[in-house]
Structures are given as C-alpha cells and as structure tokens.
Amino acid sequence: MSDGGGLFGEILARGRVREAVSDQAWLQAMLDVEAALARAQAAAGLIAAEHAEAIAAACRAEHYDIDDLGAQAAAVGNPAAPLVRALRAQVGDPAAGAVHRGATSQDVVDSAAMLVARRALEPLLDDLGAAADAAARLADDHRATVMAGRTLLQQAVPISFGLKAAGWLVGLDEAAARLEAVRSTRLAAQLGGAAGSLAALGDSGIEVLSRFARELELAEPVVPWHTARTRVAELSAALGEASGAAAKVAGDVVLLAQTEVGEVREGGEGGRGGSSAMPHKHNPVAAISALAGARQAPGLVANVLAAMEHEHERAAGAWHAEWAPLRGLLGATGSAAAWLRDCLEHLEVDAERMRENLDDVLLAERVAAAIGGSGAADVVRDALAAGRPLADVAREHLAEDEAARVLDPATSLGASDQLIDRALGAHAHRS
C-alpha cells in the first residue's frame, strides 16, 4: 500500500500501475464520486447547479490530508465518512448541505474502487498488449527456428520457437480480452443509499442512479450491488488469470535462460541482471520480477472470493476485507505485465543454440510413426536402448527418401505455420 516506490515497490508493483492504486489515486476517485453524485443530483433537480459545481471544484485530492483522513476512518471503519466531513468543510455553506445527499459510505468506496480499477487497467492493459505484440513478433520471426519441444521438462519432439511464442501470444491475448470485457461491462457505479433502496432520493432514485453512472462512465447496474459482489470477484479473477498467463511466459523464459539451456537471454537496460559478485551470471531479472508479481494473485483472488459472503445490506468485515486484495491484485498483476513486456521486448533469442540443444533422438517418434503399426515404438525403443543410431534404425525400416525426410527436424513442424498464422490473425483482429 505504498505510494512512493519504497524498498520493494519497483520489483513487486512496477511503475505506472503503482501510482494508479496509490492512496492519492483512491482519494481522488472518492472525490470524483462525490462530484459525480452532486452533478447527477443537480441534473435531476435535487440540488442547485451552483452547489454541484462548488462541490466539484472542491473535489481535488490535494486539498485533503490522507493520513488525517485515515486516522479518522478508523473510528467508523471506512474512509468515506471523514472525507464527507472534510469535503463539507471545504465547500462551506450553503453548498455543504448538498454534499453526499442520499448516499452512504459504501456507495462512495465501491464506486471509487471501480474508478481506481478502470484507471489502473489502462497501464496494465497497455503493458499486457505490448507484451503480446512482442510475442507476436517473436512468433512471426521464428517460424523456422527449430528447437526442442519439451514435455515434463524432457525433450520430446522438435517444434519451432515461433510456435512456442504463438502459444504465449494466445495466452496473453485471451487474458487481455477477458480483462477488457470486465472493464467495459462489469465495472459499475454503486448507489443505493443506506440500505440499497435509494430511499433518501425520493422519486428520483433511478434517475440519479442513471445520471451518476453516466457521469462516472461506469455501467449502470440493474440494482445496487452493495452486497452482490460478483463484479469485484470477476475483476479479481480476471486479474488472477492475467497473472497466470504472464507467469506461464515468464516461467518459460527463466527455463530457457538456464545456463545449461541458454536459448534466450534478457537484454534491456545496461547492466540489469548482472551480478557484481559473479561476473559471469546474467539473471533474467525481468522474468523473475514478473513471476514475483504474478504469484501474488492466487491467494489474493481466494481472499476476494471468500469475502463475497456479505451479510444483509452491508457486510461486517467482508466488505472491508476486499480493499487490500483488490488493490494488491491490480498492483501485482500490473507489475507482472510491465515486467513481462520489458522481458519480451528485449528478449535475445539464440537460434543456433536451440538447434544445437535439439537431441536427434527427438525424431524417434517420427521414425516410429513412419514405420507404423503398434509395435513400431518398441522397435525404435529397443534399438536406441541397444545404442544404435536413430538414422540406422530409420534407414533399415524406411525408404531412403522417406528416412531423410523423417530425420530433418525442419520438416517435422506439422501445422506450426498455420497455427502461428491463426494466432497472429486473432491478435491483429484485437488491435
């Protein structure tokens, strides 16, 4: 919950998204909510237009002291009540009476949370998109870069690095698409008043709700969602999914960068990943930091899901328990996206090493398939176990041409090119 970078901040909550979830950002979002509420009520004729503008003018975060508000918040269990007091004081009479009319603290905090989320998703989706763009370039550039496909961390059959990158791309694009869907359809204004009936707004409740949502550019909910937390849960889960998609890619980079594999290397700003004590080392710091961020997600999502059990018209604890994990998820997933972008945009691929690492024995499956029949796998296995070169086995059971073809990994990439085209097409379609 640090606003400044802090000791670990840049590693665990990189850059722009950290600011977007800062106390300053939350405070401004709460003030934006109060301004929108006043304008909506003025438009509905409930308060005077000049009072609404006086309120809106006072809704600038720099007028308020965060630590002071936080200290007062403890007495009531949320920061909205002291903010309303401070805002009324700032506005002064007579407009003060028009502040926060018909609303309750949860309306302010919930609507503000949605604003904070929408704003934090901007850099997050920007970084996730740029990481996907980088994966797309890698997919296209490395269609012919043959490498070992690895299952269970054992070399299995040859693939192209392009196909691997296409898999990364689709994973990132799917996660981004889900986040975008949540952003455009599930981030909604909350306004219900003391217990969700809009009772303090007289006959204008629905009208004010509609105008309020439009002011905030948030969706208008069917009913106030103060105790139906599906929106918060969907947002959190989508962040968790994006973290997972990023972690898959970052994990692959860490594995490919192992000293004994050496197929990729993080480039980027001079010196990053160097070890002063061990000059030979080059650590994939961006991928590691992406993993560190992404791995915050599972537990935080669990906390949000467990907190869906809101009692009656406002939860005694479950609501308050949402704030930290939601904020944490935005920060950590945003950080993972930023680090992954950095990682992929500067990834150095060693195609030669990929080819060298590829064990010829990986063609064994192809040879067995070419020989055909259910016993072929045993024939090949036994021959290899006996120390015979695979090429000999192939030539023994296959025509010369066929044997040569089967033994050339570049001819063994199957539908890889088509699959890469599909991934690139789907990616282009998103932009």
Q: Which of residues 220-259 bind its own copies (CB under 8 A)?
A: 221-225, 227-231, 233-234, 237-238, 240-241, 243-245, 247-248, 250-252, 254-255, 257-259
Binding flag, residue 81, its own copies (CB under 8 A): yes
Catalytic, out of 39, 88, 150, 314: 314
Closest separation between CB of residue 83 and its own copies, Å? Answer: 9
Nearer to its own copies, 118 or 310 (CB): 310
One residue of 1, 49, 57, 399 binding its own copies per CB under 8 A? 1
| ω into 94 cis (within 30 of 0) | yes
Q: Count residues contacting its own copies (CB under 8 A)? A: 181
Q: Is the peptide bond prior to 221 cis by the omega test (within 30 degrees of 0)? A: no
Sole residue written with tokens 């599909």: 422
- Rounded-to-integer distance, Cα 156 and Cα 150, Å: 5
Check if 275 is active-site: yes
Q: Binding of its own copies at residue 199 (CB under 8 A)?
A: yes
155 membership: H or E segment, kind and range: strand 154-160
Strand partners, 157: 149
Binding pattern for the stretch 335-364 against its own copies, x by CB under 8 A and - elsewhere: ----------------------x-x-xx-x
**Binders of its own copies among 270-299, rule CB under 8 A?**
271-285, 287-292, 295-299
214 vs 295 by CB, closer to its own copies = 295
The single-letter code of the amino acid at 198 is L
Site for its own copies in 366-405 (CB under 8 A): 366, 368-369, 372-374, 377-378, 380-381, 384-385
- Cβ proximity to its own copies: between 31 and 35 the closer is 31
Residue 317 to residues 48, 179, 196, 242, 313: CA-CA distances in angstroms? 37, 27, 18, 28, 12
C-alpha radius of gyration, the chain, whole number: 28
b/e 308-331 (16+ beta carbons within 10 angstroms → b): bebeeebbeebbeebbebbbbbbb
Query: CA-to-CA distance for 343 and 91, rounded, in angstroms?
Result: 48
CB of 232 to its own copies, least distance (A): 9
Least spacing, CB of residue 99 vs its own copies, in Å: 9
Least distance between its own copies and beta carbon 135 (Å)? 11
Separation of alpha carbons 82 and 89, rounded Å: 11
The only residue of 116, 307, 340, 349 in contact with its own copies, by rule CB under 8 A: 307
Restricted to residues 82-141, the positions that interact with its own copies (CB under 8 A) are: 88, 96-97, 104, 106
List the one residue out of 338, 334, 342, 341 whose CA is nearest residue 296.
334
Site string for its own copies, 313-332 (x = CB under 8 A): xxxxxx-xx-xxx--x---x
How many angstroms separate the first and last alpha carbons of the chain? 33
Q: Which is nearer to its own copies, 56 or 244 (CB)?
A: 244
Identity of the residue, 123 or 284, whose beta carbon is nearer to its own copies in the bound complex: 284
Q: How far is the CB of 345 from its own copies (least distance, A)?
A: 16
Q: Minimal distance in Å, beta carbon 281 to its own copies?
A: 5
Residue 382: exposure state from Cβ atoms within 10 A (0-12, 13-18, ≥19): exposed
Q: What would the x/- binding string for its own copies be over residues 30 to 69, using CB under 8 A?
A: ------------------------------------xx-x
Single out the segment in contact with its own copies by CB under 8 A; choices: 40-48, 49-57, 78-86, 128-136: 78-86
Task: Figure out which of the listed residues 301, 343, 398, 407 binds its own copies, where binding follows CB under 8 A.
Answer: 301
The HSE-up count of residue 7 (CA atoms within 13 Å, CB side) is 0
Smallest separation (angstroms) from its own copies to the CB of 204:
9
Q: Please give the Cα distance from 290 to 204 (Å, whole number).
A: 48
Site string for its own copies, 14-33 (x = CB under 8 A): x--------x--xx------
**Nearest alpha carbon to residue 330 among 127, 190, 171, 189:** 127
**CA–CA dist 94, 324 (Å, integer):** 36
Q: Which of 184, 197, 275, 388 is catalytic?
A: 275
Burial class (CB in 10 A: 0-12, 13-18, 19+), 410: exposed
Catalytic, 236? Answer: no
Question: In the bound complex, what is the minimum distance in angstroms from residue 363's beta carbon to its own copies?
Answer: 9
> Which amino acid makes up residue 382?
D
Identify which of residues 13 and 42 has a Cβ nearer to its own copies in the complex.
13
Residue nearer to its own copies on the CB measure, 29 or 36: 29
Q: Which residue has the tokens 């401004």?
A: 28
Catalytic amino acids? 275, 314
